[in-house]
Amino acid sequence: MVPGNHTWVTKFYLLALSKEPELQSLIYGLFLCMYLITVFGNLLIILATISDSHLHTPMYFFLSNLSFVDVYFTSTTIPKILLNIQTQSKDITYEGCITQMYFALFFGVLDDFLLTVMAYYRYVAICHPLHYMVIMHPHLCGLLVLVSSMTSALHSLLQSLMVLRLSFCAELEIPHFFCELNQMVQLACSDTFLNDAVIYCAAGLFGFGPFAGILYSYLKIVSTIHGISSTQGKHKAFSTCVSHLSAVFLFYCTTLGVYISSTATDNTHSSSSGSVLYTVVTPMLNPFIYSLRNKDIKEALKKLIGKESTKGPIVM
């Protein structure tokens, strides 16, 4: 096949999750419900942490940022799916595809970094409680989020520029419900060795690196908890980590499961279906994970909902 210039490409076609027309309505309703739950749940977490002064702490600062990222993470993919199903169109412009890929990478990596930062917070709070106020001051918390955002943005920019240099030919069908990086590279008819090298290096750096940081933090936390003589103290220290561990487990298991299965098999449909777990399901479940076992969040939500209900209708 003779390579073509990527400037000739005007659109791609997202094959989504199913080609069956009778399933499109079901997929539309399912994605719409998950999107509304994700946005509503995460916005409640953000509003609760802002409105309640008792939640103006590093822990809830990172949690509100995680909720903010989750809202935008799902917003990069689901609205386009809903629009395509409603209009019965599978196309996405070349510029729109690159933009969607950039933001999906940005918010996905930033989500990973925030989970790592939250693990570091728990490490400081449990292993160094006497130095907690000195270490976790507001400037450091803001700096950690800023550095994470800038690193994610630079990584996404690099990957996007690497895709822009590729040439695409006749096969412009993406067997996915969004413009996923690996699928974009596989569609190229030019040499992708450099792209593959950058992808694997970034996967090792931004995948293994944060995971190693989380693992180290929890090894130290387990060691510290083991040294606590009181059973009640051990239970209290461990209970503060359950929500975060659940979110980490869900994020890494779904992400690793999708990419390991995609490299082991050529079944792109299963890879596309599996991607729903970490791009849609995980952001949807995070508000439930952090609120169901958290008394402070529950109280803040009750106050927030109570304030809204007591306002009542305005009578002219």
- For 92-121, how does the pLDDT look when each residue is reduced to its tens digit (9 = 90+)? 999 999 999 999 999 999 999 999 999 999
Per-domain residue ranges for the chain? 7-301
Q: Which residues pair with 174 in a beta bridge?
A: 14
Please tell me which residue, 171 or 151, carries the higher pLDDT value. 151
What pLDDT is attached to residue 283?
A: 92
Rg (CA), the chain: 22
Decide if 57 contacts 125 (C-beta within 8 A). no
Q: Which residue has the tokens 């809830």?
A: 60
177 has pLDDT over 90: no
Most confident of 135-144, 242-251, 273-282: 135-144
pLDDT band for position 232 (cuts 50, 70, 90): confident
Decide if 101 contacts 184 (C-beta within 8 A). yes
314 has pLDDT over 60: no
pLDDT band for position 316 (cuts 50, 70, 90): very low
What pLDDT is attached to residue 30?
A: 92
> Taking the domain 7-301, which CATH number applies?
1.20.1070.10
Residue 9 in 3-state DSSP? coil
Decide if 76 contacts 103 (C-beta within 8 A). yes
89 has pLDDT over 50: yes
1 has pLDDT over 50: no
